[in-house]
A = this chain, B = another copy of it.
C-alpha cells in the first residue's frame, strides 16, 4: 500500500535530474520503477527534449508504449524520432487496437507505416477499423474488448463464463447484453451477478434503459454524457443497434484534463500539444504566427490613432489618456467573452435566451461604463485641470464598454456559427474591436468638442 505522492512530482523531477547528472543508473531505475505510464510521461515532458531519450531508456519496459500515449503530440513525435522506430514497434506490441490508433495519431507518418507493416493482418485490420472513425470521436475512443452475454443465460452461466475467461478488461463494471447477431439489448452490472440467486435469468436483472452513443459523437459530447449520468462506462452502438464497444471513465478523465489545458492555453493562441520544454527554435516558430496576427490588429489600432495625429498634436494629454479607454473596454469585453465561451461549451446559449442575454450584457456594459466613466472622468479632469477632457474620456468610456458588452457576446456566437473555436480567436477579434472603438470614440469626440 503506497500513500500516494501525487503532488511530489516537483521533488521527483529534482531527484531524477540529480541522478541523471550523476549518471547514477541504479538510483534512476529505483526512482522510476513504480511510476505509472502517465507519471512517466509527465516526468519526461518536464525535461528538455534532448534528455528524454536517455530517461526513456531507464523506464521499466512495461510502461513504455502507454507512456507515449500520455505525452503531447509534439513531445511524442520527437521522442519517437530519438528512440528509433524499432523501439516503438516493439513497445506497441503490448497495446490494443484502440491504443495503437491513438499512437498513430501522434506519431510521424513514416513511423506509422512501419508500425502497421510489422503487424499481422488481423491486428492491422483491427487498427484500420479504429482509424476509419474520425479523430476525437467515440469511435476512436471506444474499446472493442467488451464482455458480452445473452439475455436468456442464467447468472450462474455468466459467472462460470467470467471465471473461464483468460482475461477481463480492466475496470469492467458492467457486462454487455447482446442478441445472437450482436444487437445491443442492455447492461448487466457485475455487482448484480453477485447479488442475485444463480438461477436468475440475465434478462430479469439487466438494465435496458441505459445511455448509449453512436461512434460519430465527439469526445466532448461523450464526456458530457458521462458527467451528467455518473457513468463508469458507456456502450457504443451503431445506427443499426449493433454493439461496437464501450468508452470507459478513465479515457473521459483524460479528455476533461485536455479540455482544461486547452482552456488555459487557447487565449494565448497555443494548443494543448505545445511542449513547455521544447527546444528554443521550434517553440519560437510556433509562437511567431500568433504574434504576427496580433501585430496586424495593433497596426490597425495605430492607423486609427494616426487619423487623429493633428488632434493629438494640439492636445498631448489625449495621448496620455487614450490607453485607458481601450484597456477598460478590453477587460469588460473579455469578461463577457469568457462567460459566453463557457456557456457555449456547456450548451447553455440557445436561440430563445440570446436576446435576454444580449440585453443583460449591454446593460452591464452601460452600468459599469457609467460608474467608471465618472471615476475616470474625475481623475482625468483633475489631472489635466480640464473639465472638458474629463467629460470626453467619460463619454468615450461609456461608448466603448457598451460596445464591449455587445461584441463580447456576439463575436463568440458568430464564430461558433462559422465553426471557428471562439476560445482560440475570440479574444483577438474582441481586442481589435475594443481598441479601434476605444481610440476612435475618444479621439473622435475630442476632435469634435475640444478643438
Residues of A in contact with B (beta carbons under 8 Å apart): 1-4, 6-7, 9-11, 13-14, 17-18, 36, 38-39, 42, 45-48, 159, 162-163, 165, 168, 170-173, 184, 186, 190-191, 193-197, 208-214, 217, 221-232, 249-250, 252-254, 256-257, 259-261, 263-265, 267-270, 274, 276-277, 279-281, 283-284, 287-288, 290-292, 294-295, 297-299, 301-302, 305-306, 309, 312-313, 316-324, 326-328, 331-332, 334-335, 337-343, 345-353, 356-357, 360, 363-364, 367-368, 371-372, 375-376, 379, 383, 423, 435
Contact = CB atoms under 8 A, between A and B. Distances in A.
A349 B302 contact: no
Given A232-B171, A264-B341, A335-B269, A323 B351 contact: no
A431 to B, nearest CB: 8
Contacts of A316: 309, 312-313, 319
Contact of A260 (B46, B256, B309): B256
B256 A352 contact: no
A95 to B, nearest CB: 14
9 contacts: A2-B209, A4-B217, A13-B352, A264-B423, A288-B368, A294-B328, A295-B324, A299-B379, A305-B319
Contacts of A274: 339
Interface of A (DSSP majority class): helix
A310 to B, nearest CB: 8
A370 to B, nearest CB: 10
A261 B75 CA distance: 26
Contacts of A1: 184, 186, 208-210, 212
Contacts of A224: 6-7
Number of copies: 2
Nearest to A258: B260
A372 B291 contact: yes
Contacts of A250: 227, 230-232
6 closest A-B pairs by beta carbon, nearest first, are A9-B347, A319-B319, A256-B256, A263-B263, A13-B350, A17-B352
B276 A348 contact: yes
